[in-house]
Amino acid sequence: MSLADTARKIKNMEIRGAGRIARTCATALKEYSESLKTSDLKTFQKEMESAADILLQTRPTAVSLPNAVNIVMKGVRSAESYEEALNSVRKSAYDFVESSNAAVRRIAEIGARHIRDGDVILTHCNSQAAIACIIEAHRQGKDFEVFATEVRPRKQGLLTIKALSDAGVKTNFIVDSAARFFMKQVTLVIVGSDAVTANGAVVNKIGTSQIALAAHEARTPFIVAAETYKFAPRTITGELIRIEERDSSEVLDKSVSLTLPNVTVRNPAFDVTPADYIDLIITEQGVIPPEMAYIIIKESLGWEISDFDV
């Protein structure tokens, strides 16, 4: 698949999910680097930066994407020869994909420990990490059931219920607005994340913050499953994560919109859940309270405030 095709599929949500997007970008950069017909370092670096920029423009909210791109591009930018730059892309991309998949497996092992017999779990959207926790607990023989939301307007919940059903997990499928109604039955909420800020707030699929608020009201534990590369280094300095607003046609057909000249359709793809509503964040490095997010950025991602021009 060409780089342009990859970018288009990510932007159109044919490729979706923060982890999958990150791995796809790393692989796309590797394949693009091998397709370039040059052995000149400067030309190679320029072409790779252009490719990185194309990928970075596709989904502005998912921090996994720029983190993956920067990990792969780091060696390119510091290379002193074409061969060194090319080999760096190959190795960095391979290592990132391997570590990303390993991170999900590790999160599943840790997350399954927090699921008990008799639990009623609610999950929102289609998080590979969150689903992996649930499926691993089921694999261990624990007896529980799941409520999965529809996830308007793109209905990612259909992917979630298929994965859970295929794994043999007893699952209830509900509309997003029914989350608070069923919260009185829920004993644990597990969701994924598209970004975790330095203060422990979590950016995730639109509707997550409302579920977190309902869980907080009901005193139901709210857990986030997030690989460390989803933590957002630039939020250390107060930089805000831009919330992507997608085309109105995802919500209301354009033919209908044209008959409603006084109506504006708003379609934010994500929202921000405050750290106060989050009990734990499960990473491949272990479990942390949200207020320790800065430690992950500093120790696992290797960023310091001094790394930024402030």
Does CATH number 1.20.140.10 belong to domain 3-106?
Answer: no
pLDDT one-digit tens code per residue, 58-114: 998 878 999 999 999 999 999 999 999 999 999 999 999 999 999 999 999 999 999
Specify the domain boundaries for CATH 1.20.120.420 within the chain: 3-106
> Is the confidence at residue 244, as pLDDT, over 50?
yes
Give me the mean pLDDT over the 240-250 stretch.
94
pLDDT score at 309: 44
Q: For residues 223 and 289, what is the distance between their CA atoms, to the nearest angstrom?
A: 10
Q: Which residues of 200-226 are buried (b: 16+ CB within 10 A; e: fewer)?
A: bbbbbbbbbbbbbbbbbeeebebbbbb
pLDDT score at 301: 65
The pLDDT confidence band at residue 282, using thresholds 50, 70 and 90, is very high
pLDDT score at 302: 58
Q: For residues 120 and 183, what is the distance between their CA atoms, to the nearest angstrom?
A: 9
The alpha-carbon radius of gyration of the chain (Å, integer) is 20
Give me the mean pLDDT over the 170-198 stretch.
97
Q: Which residues are catalytic?
A: 125, 194
Give me the mean pLDDT over the 247-270 stretch.
96
Sort strands 280-283 and 286-288 into parallel, antiparallel or unpaired. antiparallel
Q: For residues 56 and 59, what is the distance between their CA atoms, to the nearest angstrom?
A: 7
> Is the confidence at residue 286, as pLDDT, over 50?
yes
> C-alpha angle with apex 68: 206 to 16, nearest 5 degrees?
40
CATH H-level, domain 113-307: superfamily:
Translation initiation factor eif-2b; domain 2 (3.40.50.10470)
Specify the domain boundaries for CATH 3.40.50.10470 within the chain: 113-307
Spatial contact of 82 and 39, defined as CB atoms under 8 Å apart = yes
Q: For residues 243 and 237, what is the distance between their CA atoms, to the nearest angstrom?
A: 18
